[in-house]
Amino acid sequence: MAEGRVVGIDLGTTNSLVAYMQGETPVVIPGVDGSNLVPSVVALDPMPADGSRPTVTVGNSARRALIETPERVIYSVKRLMGRGLGEVQCELKFFPFKLANDVQQGEVPRIQLGELQFTPPEISAYVLRQLKRNAERYFGTPVTQAVITVPAYFNDAQRQATKDAGRMAGLQVLRLVNEPTAAALAYGLDRAKEGTIAVYDLGGGTFDISILKLRDGIFEVQSTNGDTHLGGDDIDNLLLTIALDEIHAEHGVDLRAHPGAVQAVRKAAIDAKIRLSAEQSAQFDIELPNGDRYQREIPRAVFEQLIEPILERTSGPCKQAMADAGIVPEQIDEVVLVGGSTRIPAVRQLVDELFHLSARGKKPHTDLNPDEVVALGAAVQAEILAGTAKNTEDLLLLDVTPLSLGIEALGGVVARIIPRNSTIPASATEHFTTGVDGQTNVAIHVVQGERELAADCRSLARFDLKGIPPMTAGLPRIEVKFLIDADGILQVSAREQRSGKQAQIEVKPTYGLTDEQVESMILESFDHAEADFAARLLIEARNEAESIQSKVERARQHPAWALLTPDEQKMVDAAERHLAKVKAESDLNALRQGIMIMDQATRKLAELMMDAAVTEAIRGKTMQAAGEDLNEELTAPHPMAPAEFK
Amino acid sequence: MLKVIESAVPVACWSCAVAHNEATLFCPHCSKIQPPSGGDFFSVFGLKPCLNLDLTGLEHEFHRLSRKLHPDRFARAGENEKQWSLADTALLNDAYRTLKDPIHRTEYLLKLHGAEIGEEHSRKDRRDPSRVPADLLEEVFDLNMQLEEMRAAKKMGEDDPALQASLEQAKAKFEGLLDEVDDSLRAQWSKWDAGDAGARAAAQKEMVALLDRRRYLNNLVRDVTETLGA
């Protein structure tokens, strides 16, 4: 089999990126729109008139749909990966989208999106497929192997769900790499570093802290800790809640009933948050449906006071990680900051205090773009796995499992078999026997976590050992081997030692899809992927062109069209004629260029339409269009990246 | 079941068919990775069971072997080699995790030689008076009373500085005893490493008792810390 490139993917809560090694340097691969970041937003286009399956769009175009058709858009799906029904129900209070009506307890939750339903791994698969296509477009060859990053504190189910998503997207996931470890790799690549470093990673939805020892090209993780539900989203939610409450109290308008309006206020909140990283003060200025204006000044000091409790939640994990590594702050040589939220000055202040940095004349490392550093590190790891480059051949990552693995013993107590922070792969062998004469099955409950009672830990799976030869109670001796692989995922094998028979294991994962389910969810386009790559690229480009054409047709009816200058309108006309011509031909590059020209010619129009949509949403005009079914309380994590709002 | 490989059985390399020592993870002839051996954690590092270990050397060897065995080196290898790399690396990591920690290393070596070691997490040890070391009987009785009092006071939201100070004092004392146990253990290590079969058996018995005492003291300290911190 021809072995193509291995790419590195950062599948983020807010944004996703794909990167590769260009010679000795990792670089991010831009999308067609020239942007390095692909927003992790997936939207369903309107149902075609012929009743065929609607097209799924990903990224910036999907984000635009958020204000117009919020019921057909999903974002921040990473927060739902590998989670059970109860947890998702709780989480969804903060999102504008809903669970499908018929989801049963014990099955992987499905999200209702327009007239279709999707599991969280399927949504992630669409994001991954977009990244895969961006890379294929860039290389002009198929891309089938990838390294994908996950938060270090992700548990087994969350990791498995991420791997499943890769498979659905037609990617062989060669390795899951922990995000902070990837960042360390990106930083350590060009310098022959020795010493102890801490990676503080506060992203859109997750927080990780990892402590690593670097020596002779070996990156050995000593300890890791974190919170998979802590990030910039929480700060946005806080600002949003305050704004909505104040609008309600001062102007008598409750915007919570209007999803589009809430999204617009959220955009203003994110905007304010970002400005406050550079300026001493930011303003909210929003026109309300009744014509009033909500105007509010937020000084940085007030903002810092507001977010202090959120930031303080990162202290405990940092201290625990240092304790687990058996070190004090003075022993940490360098601190690396990762994730967009580390741009906030108060976060940097906290990091400085936690690790006694300025007291020792040190500064945290921020020279690599915190939004890109994880993807860059993933590209380095991809190259290590491909084993094709000289400058990575001496590098090796030794990562750890973030949570202890245990089995439920008598009385519901957890017997710990692999402690947290064990270098992976790691294994443990346990012996089991029967309690009743002639018993042929033994059930084992595996959990992950640090608490003493199984009920307080996270249930990972129930294993049913079958086919034990009937014997007197206590006589069979079943050896079960638990192995956490290099991706941090558990594998189990068992053997009855007296008969030497390989015991059959039936695994019931507490959370997650079965192999057959994953198989059935593989995105259709993959079926043809290897068959005729060039033809597929052409078809995809034509579809893209078609989609843009129909959008521009609709845009001509929009009030924003009249706001363009006659020259700007002529440019759109010309771009459209050109696109129609190259679409009829079979020159892929010409067609792509046509799409790009069209994209540029309509950029102004798209911005005007976006502005209009925001204003209308605030006024509540698009609510009928949004439908009645979205009157949930809305304090969702944001899907908007800073790039959009200049 | 764990076993000590005293005399390694020669087996043939799957790739070059040259016979090699079963405990090795690579073929000495063609350097290809081999399926995991039945060897113990010491043999992974080419060591005979012993208790005084050079930790710097161990770490160095751990890194050297990781470079050769890790699954990252076999991402595009055949299915068998992939599986062996996974199993071998898990064995290497398990071995390193156990041997680098002095207590885990001691427990492991003793188990390897047939000793029964108590369970780390069995809470009932502490409740069972027959498990209390005789010289601590009185103090443990007092301590348990004070712990009960402290828990009750905490529940009521009351502050009792005298009790707090007394518990902190007790904690310091038990921590001191723990250090003494560790010193005694280290003394036994050398006896075991250097001794003949008789000396080893004696050291082994001593160490099992010391580990029991250590576990007991550890649980006490943890109880006090939890109660003070709650």
pLDDT tens track for A250-270: 888 888 877 777 878 888 889
Q: Give the chain B residue whose CA is nearest to the CA of A487.
A: B71
> What pLDDT does A220 receive?
94
The H or E element containing residue A198 is strand A195-202
Q: Give the chain A residue whose CA is nearest to the CA of B73.
A: A385
CB-closest option in B72, B93, B96 to A385: B72
Q: Please judge whether A386 and B75 are an interchain contact, meaning their C-beta atoms are less than 8 angstroms apart.
A: yes
Q: Which residues contact A99 (CB under 8 A, 6 or more apart)?
A: A85, A88, A89, A92, A109, A110, A111, A112
Average pLDDT over residues A604-610: 82
Please indicate whether residue A393 is annotated as part of the active site. Answer: no
Domain coordinates of chain B in residue numbers? 11-112, 134-229
> Which value does ipTM take for this structure?
0.83
Residues of A whose CB is below 8 A from B67? 218, 394, 396
Decide if pLDDT at A405 tops 80. yes
Distance to chain B for A146, nearest Cα, Å: 11
Which amino acid, residue A330?
E
pLDDT digits (tens, 9 = 90+) for A214-227: 988 899 999 999 99
pLDDT digits (tens, 9 = 90+) for A25-77: 899 999 877 889 999 999 988 877 777 778 888 888 888 777 777 788 888 89
Residues of A whose CB is below 8 A from B90? 425-427, 483-484
Q: Give the chain B residue whose CA is nearest to the CA of A216.
A: B63
User: B37: which DSSP letter?
Assistant: P
Provide the pLDDT confidence category of residue A20 given band limits of 50, 70 and 90: very high
Residues of B whose CB is below 8 A from A483? 86-87, 90
Decide if pLDDT at A313 tops 50. yes
Please indicate whether residue A245 is annotated as part of the active site. Answer: no
> What pLDDT does A165 receive?
94
What residues pair up with A227 in beta bridges, in sequence order? Answer: A207
Whole-angstrom CA distances from A525 to A62, A121, A171, A528 are: 19, 17, 12, 6
Average pLDDT over residues A236-259: 86
* Cα–Cα distance for residue pair A454/B4, rounded to 1 Å: 35
Residue A424 and residue A401 in contact, taking contact as beta carbons nearer than 8 Å:
yes
> What pLDDT does B196 receive?
85
pLDDT digits (tens, 9 = 90+) for A371-390: 999 999 999 999 999 887 77
Please indicate whether residue A179 is annotated as part of the active site. Answer: yes
**Is B170 within 8 Å of chain A by CB?**
no
Neighbours of A203 (CB within 10 A): 27
Q: Please judge whether B86 and A423 are an interchain contact, meaning their C-beta atoms are less than 8 angstroms apart.
A: no
Provide the pLDDT confidence category of residue A192 given band limits of 50, 70 and 90: low
Provide the pLDDT confidence category of residue A355 given band limits of 50, 70 and 90: very high
> What pLDDT does A211 receive?
96
Residue A29 and residue A138 in contact, taking contact as beta carbons nearer than 8 Å:
yes
Q: Please judge whether A396 and B71 are an interchain contact, meaning their C-beta atoms are less than 8 angstroms apart.
A: no
> What pLDDT does A639 receive?
35
Give chain A's contact residues with B (Cβ, < 8 Å): 3, 174-175, 215-216, 218, 220, 381, 384-387, 394, 396-398, 413-416, 422-428, 452, 483-486
CB-closest option in B67, B93, B121 to A396: B67
Q: Please judge whether A386 and B76 are an interchain contact, meaning their C-beta atoms are less than 8 angstroms apart.
A: yes
Which is nearest to A202 in space by CA: A245, A251, A250, A235?
A: A235
Q: Is B33 helix (H, G, I), strand (E, B) or coil?
A: strand
Decide if pLDDT at A465 tops 60. yes
Provide the pLDDT confidence category of residue A202 given band limits of 50, 70 and 90: very high
> What pLDDT does A636 receive?
34
Model pTM score: 0.81
Residues of B whose CB is below 8 A from A386? 75-76
pLDDT digits (tens, 9 = 90+) for A508-531: 666 777 777 777 777 755 444 445
Mean pLDDT check: name the lowest of A174-183, A475-484, A607-616.
A607-616
Decide if pLDDT at A357 tops 60. yes
Arithmetic mean of pLDDT over chain A: 84
Neighbours of A444 (CB within 10 A): 19
> What pLDDT does A53 receive?
75
Distance to chain A for B177, nearest Cα, Å: 21
- Catalytic residue chosen out of the listed positions A10, A68, A208, A271: A10
Residue A73 and residue A109 in contact, taking contact as beta carbons nearer than 8 Å:
no
Provide the pLDDT confidence category of residue A175 given band limits of 50, 70 and 90: very high
> What pLDDT does B173 receive?
86
CB-closest option in A397, A414, A485 to B86: A485
Cis peptide before A425 (omega within 30 of 0): yes
Interface of B with A in 11-50 (CB under 8 A): none
- Catalytic residue chosen out of the listed positions A68, A201, A271, A496: A201
Average pLDDT over residues A406-415: 84
Interface of B with A in 67-86 (CB under 8 A): 67, 70-73, 75-76, 86
- Catalytic residue chosen out of the listed positions A164, A179, A227, A234: A179
pLDDT greater at residue A248 or residue B136: A248
> What pLDDT does A430 receive?
86
Whole-angstrom CA distances from A143 to A113, A138, A525, B37, B197 are: 29, 10, 14, 37, 62
Which stretches within A416-556 are classed as H helix? Answer: 515-520, 533-556
pLDDT greater at residue B171 or residue A319: A319
Decide if pLDDT at A130 tops 90. yes
Strands A145-150, A6-11: pairing is parallel
* Cα–Cα distance for residue pair B29/B26, rounded to 1 Å: 9
* CATH fold of B11-112: Helix Hairpins (1.10.287)
| pLDDT beneath 50: ranges in chain B | 1-8, 121-126
Residues of B whose CB is below 8 A from A218? 63, 66-67
Average pLDDT over residues A291-304: 88
> What pLDDT does A32 receive?
78
> What pLDDT does A189 receive?
62
Cα B106 from chain centroid?
Answer: 6
Q: Give the chain B residue whose CA is nearest to the CA of A218.
A: B63
Please indicate whether residue A71 is annotated as part of the active site. Answer: no
> What pLDDT does A311 receive?
95
> What pLDDT does A590 receive?
86
Write the DSSP assignment of A398-437 as a string of letters. E-B-SS-EEEE-GGGBEEEEE-TTPBSSEEEEEEE--SST
Rank A72-81, A86-95, A617-626 by mean pLDDT and report only the highest. Answer: A72-81
Which is nearest to A66 in space by CA: A263, A267, A272, A289?
A: A263
Provide the pLDDT confidence category of residue A643 given band limits of 50, 70 and 90: very low
Q: Please judge whether B90 and A174 are an interchain contact, meaning their C-beta atoms are less than 8 angstroms apart.
A: no
Decide if pLDDT at A137 tops 50. yes
Q: Is A87 left (phi over 0), alpha (psi -120 to 50) or beta?
A: alpha
Distance to chain B for A379, nearest Cα, Å: 14
